[in-house]
């Protein structure tokens, strides 16, 4: 996939079907837009493309920039125009549209609630008025629903914040994942036989407190994992953590290395235990339950 920054778009010329959007998380609603782009391109001699944003205001991003590019590429997109939102938010809808069309865009694909340009004054009504004058086709993709609910990034963030990972995964169409660097923690896990990797998460992601079943990618290998998010009520220190126990991992400490963690479902809320022995017993039970839960679940595909 060819990536082209906004400032270099004037040097690029290729006839495309181009979708516009933040594509935060590349969830099922976004996939509907991307599928429309790719199918339309397959029926023509045009290249499938998107215009998207690397940085934009949000409580937290659902995936990092590199992961978003990979998801777009895997969806069949060949050209990705991009910028940070603050680079173009001052442009009028007409100016932004002219810049985009100047690259050779023949068809624009947008979601049903799309807005753009200064003050979000650009909308579908504006684009429909402009398409005859500017000579482009317009395709508007209707909302995508799961169990009667409209899929959108705000709802997914809400699910994650509440710890409802199962619903978040249903909206994403894949396992929600986070990445981060392994940093030093309290080392309590080592003292009870369950050494955990304490992650400093990317993207300021906020995950509801609790114990989760999932997988962790380390050194190119996928491990089943027990994940604990939030402040420990047993060893309260006021610090919210994201700790991962890699089931079956026999390596040494991995401080400074990076992990990618895929969450499958929440097992339970955190509990305050009277002592370390009680905590150890419950963690052992959690690990057995996680192993049983994941036994019939295909692990995430990684490249």
Q: Read out DSSP for 207-263? A: --SEEEEEEEEETTEEEEEEEEEE--SSS--S--EEEEEETT------TT-EEEEEE
Residue 253 has what pLDDT? 80
CATH superfamily label, 2-146: HUPs (3.40.50.620)
Please give the CATH architecture assigned to the domain spanning 175-294.
Beta Barrel (2.40)
Q: Where in the chain is the domain with CATH 3.40.50.620?
A: 2-146
Residue 121 has what pLDDT? 85
Q: Which tokens go with 112?
A: 């049903």
Residue 231 has what pLDDT? 82
**101 alpha carbon, distance to own chain's centre:** 28
User: How far, in Å, are 16, 21, 50, 177, 183 from residue 73 at the CA level?
Assistant: 15, 15, 10, 18, 31
C-alpha to C-alpha distance for 25 and 168, rounded to whole angstroms: 10
φ/ψ of residue 288, rounded to 5: -65, -40
DSSP-based three-state secondary structure for 283: helix
Q: Where in the chain is the domain with CATH 2.40.30.30?
A: 175-294
pLDDT tens string 20-60: 999 999 999 999 999 999 999 999 989 999 999 999 999 99
Q: Which segments in the chain show pLDDT lower than 70?
A: 185-193, 235-236, 303
């Amino acid at each position: 996939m060819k990536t082209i920054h906004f400032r270099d778009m004037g040097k690029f010329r290729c006839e495309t079907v181009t979708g516009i959007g933040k594509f935060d998380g590349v969830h099922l609603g976004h996939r509907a837009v991307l599928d429309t782009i790719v199918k339309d391109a397959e029926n023509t001699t045009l290249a499938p493309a998107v215009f998207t944003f690397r940085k934009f205001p949000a409580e937290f991003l659902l995936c990092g920039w590199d992961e978003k590019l990979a998801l777009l590429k895997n969806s069949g997109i060949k050209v990705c125009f991009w910028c940070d939102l603050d680079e173009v938010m001052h442009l009028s809808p007409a100016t932004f549209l002219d810049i985009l069309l100047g690259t050779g865009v023949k068809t624009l694909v947008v979601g049903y609630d799309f807005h753009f340009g200064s003050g979000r004054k650009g909308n579908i009504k504006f684009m429909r008025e402009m398409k005859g004058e500017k000579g482009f086709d317009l395709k508007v993709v209707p909302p995508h629903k799961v169990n009667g609910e409209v899929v959108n990034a705000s709802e997914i963030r809400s699910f994650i914040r509440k710890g409802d990972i199962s619903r978040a995964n249903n909206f994403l169409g894949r396992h929600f994942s986070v990445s981060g660097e392994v940093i030093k923690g309290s080392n309590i896990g080592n003292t009870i036989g369950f050494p955990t990797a304490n992650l400093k998460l990317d993207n300021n992601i906020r995950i509801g407190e609790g114990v989760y079943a999932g997988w962790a990618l380390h050194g190119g290998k996928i491990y089943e994992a027990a994940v604990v998010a939030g402040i420990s009520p047993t060893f309260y220190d006021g610090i919210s953590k994201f700790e991962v126990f890699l089931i079956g991992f026999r390596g040494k400490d991995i401080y400074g290395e990076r992990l990618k963690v895929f969450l499958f479902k929440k097992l339970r809320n955190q509990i305050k235990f009277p002592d370390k022995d009680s905590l150890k017993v419950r963690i052992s039970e959690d690990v057995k339950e996680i192993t049983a839960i994941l036994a019939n679940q295909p692990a995430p595909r990684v490249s």
